[in-house]
Amino acid sequence: MIAGKKIVLVVTGGIAAYKVITLARLLGKAGADVRVAMTSVATEFVTPKTFSVLTKHEVLVDLFDEPNQADIKHIEWADWADLIVVAPATANFIGKMAQGVADDAASSMVMARHSPIVIAPAMNSNMYQNEAVQRNLKLLAADGVKIIAPATGQLAEGYAGTGRLPEPEKLFDEITMFLAQRTGRLVGKRVVVTAGGTQEAIDPVRYIGNHSSGKMGYALAQAAAEAGAQVELISTVDLPVPPTVKLIPVQSASEMFKALDERFEMLDILFMAAAVADYRIAKPADQKLKKHADHTGLTLELVENPDILATLGAKKTHQYLVGFAAETEHLMEHANAKLTKKHVDLLIANNVATPGVGFGSDQNEVTLLWPESEPEKLPVADKLTLARTVMDKVITQLKEQ
């Protein structure tokens, strides 16, 4: 999403301006052509020379510092940009944008724009919560401005509050997702991803579970969001949720099935990455179970859970279903059986007994199986890289249908 994009960073006068140095580097490293415009107050925190060296472009500061220019610089930059990002966006600059004030180079360039714009407010928490600032942010949102919410944490004033500029990596991810939702290959598609191992209650304290970390599911959710999809993540684990992804927390297989069944008719692609328990306790105890005084042990009666993916696969119409087969032996034999039984369009198989690529690992090694096609083994890679590769292949198949 970033490569080849022409991006103008507008740096306004806040202490967080130093974070934009790293953001400029991240955007440039990802292949963007970056220019920087600064307010005069911003130059008190970071020098224009810093950004000029990083971006290999001059920095726009003075509205009238162009006596020999054939083009009017702030207009030329507004025409040039594919995207404008204001970070940090101070209360003053937000007010200018909301009220249409153009009294310096940066605000004049923003007012002349015809490209999408993202702003990242950063200020003291009392200023951020001021009714006028909140009113201006609502006006900008109504005008189609993308607003990245400030973070909560230690402020420059020495106390904690909401108003910190998010870290550069977070800003980069938000910008990437914003561009993806405008131009990505899955724009307009609804994607649901499940993640983590289900928990089947024994009593209010204990449960039957498995070692699934949910990392592969979260990676798939991010890859789908990067491709522009509207993504919902049904998860049993607590991991950082990718930008723009909606989290639906569940615990048991029955809760996961209910959440999926409610969404199935409207979704376009399902990635069933969760490790769903095959069995649940027939009658979970209402209170914590105690040890028997005679030390006779404990017997639990298990009943089979519904096969969620097979049930959904049997009734699919337009949906593209991706299943997973986590095995410890006879990988391809079991995977091929599941491919047929569960009526999926793609099955992703991996041997979780292999050191370094099992449950909880940051890496994975998988084999892709399609009906009536030769399997494709993908090399060991981190889970996000694999997720992006899988997403590319799913998108290609959808185009061919």
CA–CA distance, 306 with 315 (Å, rounded to integer): 14
Domains of the chain are: 6-180 (3.40.50.1950), 185-400 (3.40.50.10300)
Pull the structure tokens for residue 145: 């401005």
DSSP code of residue 117: E
Q: What is the full DSSP assignment across 67-116? A: TT-SS-HHHHHHHH-SEEEEEEE-HHHHHHHHHT---SHHHHHHHT--S-
Give the Å distances, CA to CA, from 279 to 31, 58, 123: 49, 64, 52
Point out which residues pair with 152 in neighbouring strands.
162
pLDDT for 71: 61
pTM score above 0.85: no
* DSSP per-residue letters across 266-300: T-SEEEE-SB--SEEESS--SS-----TT------
Q: What share of the chain is helix, strand, coil (3-state, %, to 5)?
A: 35, 25, 40
The pLDDT of residue 154: 85
- As given in the structure block, the two tokens for residue 215 are 């990392």
pLDDT computed for residue 340 by the predictor: 86
List the 320-327 sheet strands across, edge first. Answer: 246-249, 230-235, 190-195, 269-272, 320-327, 346-351, 367-369, 376-377
Selecting among 68, 92, 124, 210, the annotated active-site residue is 210
**Per-residue pLDDT at 66:** 57
Are 155 and 124 in contact, with CB atoms under 8 Å apart?
A: yes
Helix (H) or strand (E) holding 162: strand 160-164
Does 336 qualify as catalytic in the annotation?
no
Q: φ, ψ for residue 293 (rounded to 5)?
A: -60, -30
Reported as type and span, the H/E element at residue 323 is strand 320-327
Phi, psi of 325 (to 5 degrees): -125, 100
Return per-residue pLDDT of the chain as tens, 401 residues.
Answer: 798 999 999 999 999 999 999 999 999 999 999 999 999 999 999 999 999 999 999 999 987 765 555 567 889 999 999 999 999 999 999 999 999 999 999 999 999 999 999 999 999 999 999 999 999 999 999 999 999 999 998 888 888 889 999 999 999 999 999 998 888 899 999 999 999 999 999 999 999 998 899 999 999 999 999 999 999 999 999 999 998 899 999 999 999 999 999 999 999 999 999 999 999 999 999 999 888 777 778 888 999 999 999 999 999 999 999 998 877 787 788 888 888 888 999 999 888 777 777 777 888 889 999 998 889 999 999 999 999 999 999 999 898 76
- Is residue 352 within 8 A of residue 213, CB to CB? The reply is no
